[in-house]
Amino acid sequence: MGKAGVRGVANAAPRNVPALVPLICWLLGLLKGVSQVARVTRWQDGQRRAGTPARRRPGPIRAIGGEALGRRRSGIGNTRSGEPLASAGWRAAVGVGAVLGSEFLLRDVLLPSQPSDAEIRCVIAGEWLTLGGLLCWWVPHVERAPLTSIGAGPFRWRHVWEGVGAFALAVGASAASGKALTAVGLPTARTLQPVLRRYRGSTRAALFITGTVLEEIVYRGYVMDRLIQLTGRPWIAGLIDWLAFSGAHLKFFGPGPTLDVGPLSATLISLYARERTLWPVVVLHGLNDALAFIVAPLLPTPEVPGDHV
């Protein structure tokens, strides 16, 4: 990383001091949740050593969406294993908070409004490290759940056609939203083309892979699936996921382009809620990001006067 990149990362936080207030609150809540999970885990271990089935939970912990958790055969909170539903609920809640908090820290606190190639790569590296911890440690060892509980099911060829069909619908919806934004004087996602053209091809390729794979595993596979299990209502989980996903793009995209990709986000959420597997949404997101990060910056599209991000 060059000196400019190091200075940019170092100076990003002071320019976002107001954002540190909710970050501190999130850290305090996360520490409390982790301590609660550790307490319940120690109690479970003691019950197992004593030969007593761990059917009830200690302390004033309420099961969050316990019934929905118990119905998930291959997911967390399976009542057949004797694990308290409250423990599974706390682990899922802490996991969702940790994932969304890390995304907020990386994208909204450390990443400046006009980042350099080096700064974008640093944030992407941090996101992939977070994903590695989620897949290799948190889900299998803390939540004690299989990866199928976050949509990592077997591939079927129909998933490709579902993703392609959903992409066609998303394109039509995005065209309508673009016209609406233009009518009220807001920039659209099209204005990102000259911005993305400034970055190296390797940076755009990293953005493409991160958006296609990492974002779908994190926001659909983990966050949305756990929210469905916690709330028992897919529409509430989808709304929270849509807000979190849009917020993660707001600083880099700007208000207008973020609203412009809102129909795409809604399509991704609806498709995952119906299929509960990552493959169709990965296909859909991959088609969109291939056009956005790989193809569009190479096209000699003139800038529209007055459009800016």
Q: Please give the Cα distance from 106 to 116 (Å, whole number).
A: 14
Q: Say what the pLDDT of residue 252 is.
A: 86
Q: What average pLDDT does the chain have?
A: 78
* Res. 37: pLDDT tops 80: no
Q: Please give the Cα distance from 135 to 32 (Å, whole number).
A: 22
Q: Determine if residue 301 is left, alpha or beta; phi over 0 gives left, psi from -120 to 50 gives alpha, anything else beta.
A: beta
Collapse the DSSP code of 269 into the 3-class scheme (helix H, G, I; strand E, B; otherwise coil) and give the result.
helix
Q: Please give the Cα distance from 227 to 97 (Å, whole number).
A: 11
Alpha helices in the chain (DSSP H): 3-12, 20-50, 66-71, 85-104, 117-133, 157-183, 192-197, 201-209, 215, 225-231, 234-253, 255-260, 262-275, 278-289
Decide: 230 and 93 in contact? Cβ < 8 Å.
Answer: yes
Q: Does the predicted model carry a pTM greater than 0.75?
A: no
104-118 exposure pattern, b = at least 16 Cβ within 10 A, e = fewer: bbbbbbbbbeebbbb
Local confidence band at 70 (pLDDT 50, 70, 90 cut-offs): very low
Among 62-71, 99-108, 233-242, 266-275, the least confident range? 62-71
**Which tens digits make up the pLDDT trace of 231-271?**
989 999 999 999 999 999 988 888 989 999 999 999 999 99
Q: Please give the Cα distance from 126 to 192 (Å, whole number).
A: 24
Q: Report which of 75, 104, 106 is spatially closest to residue 91, judged by C-alpha positions.
A: 75
**Which tens digits make up the pLDDT trace of 44-57?**
556 666 665 544 44
> How much of the chain, in percent, has pLDDT values that exceed 70?
69
